[in-house]
Structure 1
Amino acid sequence: MKKFWEMKQSVNKKEADIYITGEITRYKSDDEDTTATSFQKDLKLLGEVDRINLHVNSPGGAVFEGIAIGNMLKRHKAHVVAYVDALAASIASVIVVSCDEVVMPENSMLMIHNPMQGIYGNAKELRKSADDLDKIAGSSVIAYLSKAGEKLNEETIKQIMDDETWLSAQEAYDYGLCDVVEEANQMVASVSNKIFESYQHVPKDLIQEKKKTDCYEITDERKQLAEEGRKNLKKINQQLEELKQ
């Protein structure tokens, strides 16, 4: 199974870049190599770096894998700067706020909500699952509050999570979840439609941007070019038939 992250060391060997793109999954190549162990191995291979640039564009995914990655980056002795290239949603936002510094282009977003899971079982099992989800949510609350400091209190972050809140870069900055807001970039979120369907309050602008990246607009000019291409192909086929004769 392909890893959802990539790590590269810079030329001066004092900096490294980590890219987390797409869904955060339960990576497992064998019985001992899980997301946490594999990520930790790759992190160690970077060597003694002073700065890590973490680039994130992710809709979230597996909660415990995200928590493990966030804790590893938080404990790392290097200064870790998270760049939200387009979207850091769900557990990806927890990874981002676990870093020493967060940088967001003004058209990027954080999405914060309560953890979810598919649940099947009897009443007792369902109540236990609900209690487990509350405990998992508590870990996220701690991460957000630790980053925000005095700009955010527990009551507010819990309400933000209850509401499945999509925060702009400026809103994230106002809540203390972002340190620097940069000029807008060309936002191309690599998020599948299936992932969007699992969320309830996806901003229309983000869906429209996704649609633009999924297909080309069929214009009159494109139709004309296609028609000319068909005519040229027909002429070539006719010429080939004449040569055969």
Structure 2
Amino acid sequence: MNLKEKKIFQVKNRAETPETLDIYIYDDIESDSYDYWTGETVESETSAAYFKNMLENAGDVKNINIYINSLGGSVYEGIGIYNQLKRHKAYKTVYIDGFACSIASVIAMAGDKVIMPKNTLMMVHNVWAWARGNATQLRKIADDLDIMNTVAAEAYLSKAGEKLDNDTIREYMNKESYLTAAKCVELGLADGFAEYDADLDKAKEMLDKANRLGEKNYAERLEKVYAYATNPPEEENHSDVYESFKKYFFRKGE
């Protein structure tokens, strides 16, 4: 089964089944930005605020399908999206269409059911941030990161139930771990396998399109994620991929 040819981020009601909403997240999760040349705010289509408006405009739906192929992004925006989905009364089914990395894996935890083709993966890690300031400010930032790590861990634990405990998920987060679909099902982060393999070449192509500015670090981390997905090593510790994540998002100020 190939990835559907949709916009990088889209919320769509099905004409044939109007009570079903399809959400596609095929991009980094990002907040609004500011254009210093024009003085205008540039609206992100993967922000929590944009997501809220789109979800409200969808009306009263009973089923939500969420298709994820994302390398992650802003923790603040991702947690907002997760909470909006989590409290929505519709039955939510998450499909991992390639990669659900970093905060994208937290968003996936909002699903009542999470389905993964056997060749897809998730990535979990501790939250990090670009920071500057005096000693007091930096200590506060560290405290804030601890809180966000707890929020992310609680999302994983809430989904996994008795299959996962806090010490185990914290160990995976500390190691910046890539988890195969089989490992996700074992840990309770996914509920079952799809009856098809994901088209990882198409997944990579979609994320290439998301790299609209041609960021070198984005391209590098995508290549490494793709390599791990197509030829996963025995160990889940992938610090070299994580370093490419840090370079990219530090540059962006996430």
Does TM, scored on the shorter chain, surpass 0.5?
Answer: yes
State the partner residue of 2:146.
Answer: 134
TM-score by length of 2: 0.73
Q: Alignment partner for residue 18 of structure 1, among 13, 18, 23? A: 23
Larger RCO (CA under 8 A, 6+ residues apart): 2
State the partner residue of 1:186.
Answer: 199
State the partner residue of 1:7.
Answer: 11
The structure having more radius of gyration, on CA atoms, is: 1
Distance 1:205 1:37 in 2: 33
CA distance change for structure 1 residues 139 and 196 in 2, over 3 Å: closer, same or farther?
A: farther
Question: 1:136-167: CA deviations, max 9, x gaps?
Answer: 10100110000000000000000100000000
Distance 1:196 1:99 in 2: 29
State the partner residue of 1:51.
Answer: 63
Distance 1:97 1:125 in 2: 31
Q: Does 1:78 align with 2:82?
A: no
Q: How many residues align?
A: 206
Q: Does 1:169 align with 2:192?
A: no
Distance 1:20 1:125 in 2: 34
Distance 1:27 1:5 in 2: 15
State the identity %: 39
Question: 1:78-135: CA deviations, max 9, x gaps?
Answer: 1011111000101100000122110101111100000111122233322221111011
Structure 1 residue matching 2:189: 3-state secondary structure: coil
Matched AA of 2:30: T
Distance 1:72 1:58 in 2: 18
State the partner residue of 1:222.
Answer: none
Structure 1 residue matching 2:182: 3-state secondary structure: helix
CA contact (8 A) 2:185 2:192 kept: yes
1:76-115 correspondence to structure 2 within 5 Å? 76-115=88-127
TM-score by length of 1: 0.76
State the partner residue of 1:27.
Answer: 32
Distance 2:162 2:112 in 1: 16
Q: CA deviation at 1:202?
A: 4.8
CA contact (8 A) 2:69 2:98 kept: yes
Matched AA of 1:43: L
Q: CA deviation at 1:197?
A: 5.4
CA distance change for structure 1 residues 28 and 14 in 2, over 3 Å: closer, same or farther?
A: farther
**Mean alpha-carbon deviation: is it higher for 65-74 or for 36-45?**
36-45
Q: Which runs of 5+ in 2 are unaligned?
A: 1-6, 35-39, 232-254
Structure 2 residue matching 1:23: 3-state secondary structure: coil
Matched AA of 1:58: S
State the partner residue of 2:242.
Answer: none
Q: CA deviation at 1:185?
A: 2.0
